[in-house]
């Protein structure tokens, strides 16, 4: 179930990255000085970083790391 939610989150973030709705205007200004498109990209970057953290935490292939860790002592023992 977690994997399906993560896949849906990646697809949603991919779709949201195509922010064609803010291309033609710099208004409204967020906080009075940041153009809306720039603010959107900043929020998108934070969301992408959080999604990457979730992917590493819940979808990282740790079984592959265990295989590599088991192979290292054999390689270090060989001259």
- pLDDT for 1-55, tens place per residue? 788 999 999 999 999 998 888 778 778 899 999 988 889 999 999 999 999 999 9
What distance in Å separates the CA atoms of residue 54 and residue 56, rounded to the nearest whole number? 5
- What secondary structure, in 3-state letters, does 10-78 show? HHHHHHHHCCHHHCCCCCCEECCCEEHHHHHHHHHHHHHHHHHHHHHHHHCCHHHHHHHHHHHHHHHHC
β-sheet bridge partners, residue 29: 35
Residue with tokens 């179930």: 1
- Predicted confidence at residue 48, as pLDDT, reads 97
Distance between CA atoms of 7 and 55, rounded to whole angstroms? 9
């Amino acid at each position: 179930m977690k994997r399906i939610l993560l896949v849906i989150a990646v697809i949603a973030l991919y779709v949201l990255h195509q922010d064609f709705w803010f291309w033609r205007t710099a208004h409204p200004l967020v906080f009075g000085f940041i153009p809306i498109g720039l603010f959107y990209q900043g929020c998108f970057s934070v969301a992408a970083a959080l999604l990457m953290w979730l992917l590493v935490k819940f979808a990282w292939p740790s079984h592959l790391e265990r295989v590599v860790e088991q192979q290292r002592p054999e390689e270090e023992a060989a001259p």
